[in-house]
Structure 1
Amino acid sequence: KTPDHIVEAGVKALRDGHHGYTPANGILELRRAVSADIKKYRGVDVDPDLVMIVPGGKVTMFFAIKIFGEPGVEIIYPNPGFPIYESVINYTGATPIPMRLHEDKGYGFDADEVLSLINSNTRLLIINLPSNPTGGTVPRTEIEKLVHGLAEHPHVCVLSDEIYSRILYDGREHVSFLEYEQLRDRLILLDGWSKTYAMTGWRLGYGVWPESLIEIATRLSINCHSCVNAATQYAGIAALEGPQDAVDEMTDAFDERRQVIVNELNQIPGFNCPEPGGAFYTFPNISGTGYKSLDLQEVCLNKAGVALISGTSFGHLGEGYIRFSYANSTENIIEAIRRIKTCL
């Protein structure tokens, strides 16, 4: 649940009379807090005027894809990946170009392979690290190879979805695309409060936009949702500026569950579950079971009473995989896998 001091900040904001509209890009105090947080965890200076406060993470991705997407344009996106990427690309009329995530690379991308997908029609490249649905991460060396290669393609902008940036394991570092000055004039960063502070229902996220695009994003916010509700923005300040113990405790708990679920899944005949490097998902390969992904999803739901998601829900390259979330208790995870074993 959301840490108590964040809840109290939201309640206090309501009692203090913060009931009206705010600027469309968010209150200055929150945008300054975001800039300070980026400096603290990413080591990068960001002008608060380039920060756009939005209701959740999806708004930034929708705006970015809407700005660049149109018929005749290509947008590269991770597959398997968060379903909204491909859905919104199709909505704009652009052509979605899948970027394969490799199981043998910890569900990371191959930089040379990604660069080979770019042509004169490419307008946007979407990156999500750590990733949903795989929990995949990518080492700095591979990211820097991609960044170096993008210098040859100055017409391509990058949307870096870093919503899971604080949820990493085994001493992994988060490498933010904001670190690369050569990309700053064509980089959109997506982050927010939902995952880090257990604030999914508060609907609070942010984007960091290039100077050339921030006015367009602001205009879209004005016409789309006016602003994020005021009390939530004050809660967001408390989250960033208050104690971070709850974040560390949550990540430690996820790490314990991660080890349990990987061990348990690898004991199921036909399953092969790599250890995720971040987020709170596992993405086991189930091709050894003989089931198609959607069929196994239905069997687990209807016979075992366990809800999981077919890999194909995250793109056609997810066939042969299933997504599990370990944002649940260890006891429930063990019981769920016991049930799956009995019905296969």
Structure 2
Amino acid sequence: MESISSRVAQVTPSLTLSITNQAKAMKAKGEEVYGLAGGEPDLDTPDFIKDAAIKAIQEGKTKYTPAAGIPELRQAIAAKLKKENKLDYDATQVVVNSGAKHSCMNAIIAIVEEGDEVIIPAPYWVSYPEMVRLAGGIPVIVETKEENGWKLTPEEFEENMTGLTKMIIINSPGNPTGAVYTADELKALGEVALLEDIIILSDEIYEHLIYNEAKHVSIASLSKELYDLTITVGGFSKAYSMTGWRLGWIAAPQPIADAISKIQGHTTSNACTFAQYGGLAALEQKSTFVEDLRAEYDVRRQFMLARLKAIPNISVVEPEGAFYFFVNCEKLGMKSVNLCDKLLNRYRVAAVPGIAFGNDSCIRISYCTTLDVLNEGVSRFEEFCRAH
């Protein structure tokens, strides 16, 4: 339609949601589908978090809150950041949003002006480029290399900087690759950003899902100069299995936090009130849920790694974080959409085309499901690979 704005018209729908919905539709018809496309934990939200939200409803905590969130939750997030991330934020520098996706969108709107360039390493989470376009910015996609663990190098960053570069997006642990940047790697990228005062949007939503000897490092913790340039994004969806609760947050220098709060005041207002009390319980009540989730996912990760490495004509980099494998299928000689379409319709296995993440030679496989489903799904994927 001619009445649709050009910004929205150029945005492409989410392929990850499209594949997931297609698989769900097939299941609704009674077809057996092995879903390896999902981006959310399969475990239920812990009862103590549910109970806190239910209690809040029963106590009438169902009205508006300040746009930036209830003070108790903002304070609890600030305390978490100090303890776990070595980041000293005042509660006023924290803004609670309707999910980390909303946090990223608000941050981009707050910083990016018409024509500004935003550097996005590929493979990237599917929504980053579209968010930049919606803000009137220009996504500058920088392809990373499999041999570098799908991580951006300082040289690649600097080569793609121009006088229009306003922001860089760093996602560690990363979706779709599971890549985790070390402190030294982040410091090297930060030094490039400091050359031109480029704002760093650090998406750390998978921070608790890290394996082997890898450690999560918040880039804002590495120096006062980087702290002043960084918007840190986190949330409850992945570690606490709260995807549907839509609860995330940003922490940033005061002027940026105030700007994001202002944006939120004129768009969504506050995040869901009683969900915020669930988030507060997640942070304040002692529980082994996060560690149990991480341990369970590590079992699945190791199982999938061994199986995938035995399949001919594909390659994988061992993911150190999140819950995905980014599988290089270039030797199969198919574009990723065609590959995933055949895999779903002929072998009943749902995976996400790599083109959604900026790489048409790969597909993303998630291990957010049971070992039985993973076993059958990867067996069918192996059959597909051997047949092609």
User: Normalising to structure 2: TM-score of the pair?
Assistant: 0.85
Matched, 1:341 2:382: yes
Letter in 2 for 1:209: A
Q: Which runs of 5+ in 1 are unaligned?
A: none
Matched, 1:263 2:306: yes
User: Partner residue of 1:132?
Assistant: 175
Give the CA RMSD over aligned residues: 1.3
User: Partner residue of 1:116?
Assistant: 159
- Determine the C-alpha separation between the residues in 2 that align with 1:296 and 1:262: 20
- Determine the C-alpha separation between the residues in 1 that align with 2:381 and 2:214: 31
Match of 2:345 among 269, 290, 302: 302
- Determine the C-alpha separation between the residues in 1 that align with 2:160 and 2:189: 12
User: Partner residue of 1:88?
Assistant: 131
- Determine the C-alpha separation between the residues in 2 that align with 1:91 and 1:15: 39
| Correspondence list, 1:3-22, <5 A | 3-22=46-65
User: Partner residue of 1:171?
Assistant: 213
Which is further off, 188-197 or 239-248? 239-248
What's the CA shift for 1:12? 0.8
What's the CA shift for 1:230? 1.4
- Determine the C-alpha separation between the residues in 2 that align with 1:70 and 1:153: 17
- Determine the C-alpha separation between the residues in 1 that align with 2:52 and 2:337: 43
**Percent sequence identity over matched residues?**
34
Matched, 1:194 2:237: yes
SS in 2 for 1:83: coil
Number of residue pairs the alignment of both structures matches: 341
Which is further off, 233-242 or 290-299? 290-299
What's the CA shift for 1:206? 0.2
Letter in 1 for 2:143: R
- Determine the C-alpha separation between the residues in 2 that align with 1:202 and 1:328: 20
Letter in 1 for 2:360: E
Which is further off, 96-105 or 129-138? 96-105
- Determine the C-alpha separation between the residues in 2 that align with 1:298 and 1:229: 37
User: Partner residue of 1:218?
Assistant: 261
Letter in 1 for 2:378: I
User: Partner residue of 1:77?
Assistant: 120
CA contact 1:63–1:220 (8 Å) conserved in 2: yes
Matched, 1:332 2:382: no
Q: Which runs of 5+ in 2 are unaligned?
A: 1-43
Letter in 1 for 2:183: R
CA contact 2:93–2:258 (8 Å) conserved in 1: no
User: Normalising to structure 1: TM-score of the pair?
Assistant: 0.96
What's the CA shift for 1:342? 2.6
What whole-Å deviation, never above 9, does each CA across 1:187-213 have from its counterpart, x for those lacking one? 111100000100000000000122122
Which is further off, 25-34 or 76-85? 76-85
Moved over 6 A (4+): none
User: Partner residue of 1:97?
Assistant: 140
Residues 70, 149 of structure 1: alpha-carbon distance in 2 compared, 3 angstrom cutoff:
closer
- Determine the C-alpha separation between the residues in 2 that align with 1:59 and 1:230: 16
